[in-house]
Structure 1
Amino acid sequence: MYLCISGFLPDSAEDDSLKFELDLNASFNDQIVKLLGHKSLNEMASGEWLLTTEEVQQIALLINQPIPSNLDLFIGVEA
């Protein structure tokens, strides 16, 4: 299992299509789960979680990759 970040336009009444998707390397799972305050990856698998601007910045630093800040970003577990 691994984490995936999905991005959508804010207030997407007219366009709710996926604008950004990033599959995170599974080696970051434990660090990201802890960063987000969850107990386990299995606990996170219950849904998708809206990320705050601060969480997005922390994840981007951790994975050393830019993540857009102009979208509503969600993180969830993929099998």
Structure 2
Amino acid sequence: MYLCITGFLPDIFDDSSLKYELVVDPAFNDRIVKLLGHKSLNAMAEGEWLLTAEQAQQIAMLTDEFIPTNLELFIGIEM
């Protein structure tokens, strides 16, 4: 299992296609799970979670990855 961040244009646009995707290095799983307030990776596996701008920024700093701020961002578990 691994974490994946996806980004879409806000609902005001008539475009629901995927605009951003990041497969997060599994080495960061535990820290990201804690940052988001979940008990475990398995507990997160129940769906996709909307990220706040602050959470996205924290994950970007932790992983040293670019994460856009102009999209609606979600994080979920991929298998």
Could you say if the C-alpha distance between residues 66 and 52 of structure 1 is closer, same or farther in structure 2, counting changes exceeding 3 Å?
A: same
Q: 2:72 maps to what in 1?
A: 72
Q: Could you report, residue by residue, the CA deviation over 1:46-71 in whole angstroms, capped at 9, with x for unpaired residues?
A: 00000000000000000011100000
Could you say if the C-alpha distance between residues 13 and 70 of structure 1 is closer, same or farther in structure 2, counting changes exceeding 3 Å?
A: closer
Q: How many residues align?
A: 79
Structure 1: gaps of 5 or more residues? none
In the alignment, the residues of structure 1 paired with residue 43 and residue 13 of structure 2 have an alpha-carbon distance, to the nearest angstrom, of: 30
Q: Following superposition of structure 1 onto structure 2, how do residues 1-79 of structure 1 map, counting pairs within 5 Å?
A: 1-11=1-11, 14-79=14-79
In the alignment, the residues of structure 2 paired with residue 6 and residue 55 of structure 1 have an alpha-carbon distance, to the nearest angstrom, of: 14
Structure 1, 6-15 or 63-72: larger mean CA deviation: 6-15
TM-score, normalised to structure 1, is: 0.97
SS of the residue corresponding to residue 5 of structure 2 reads strand
TM-score, normalised to structure 2, is: 0.97
Cα distance, 1:14 vs structure 2 = 1.2
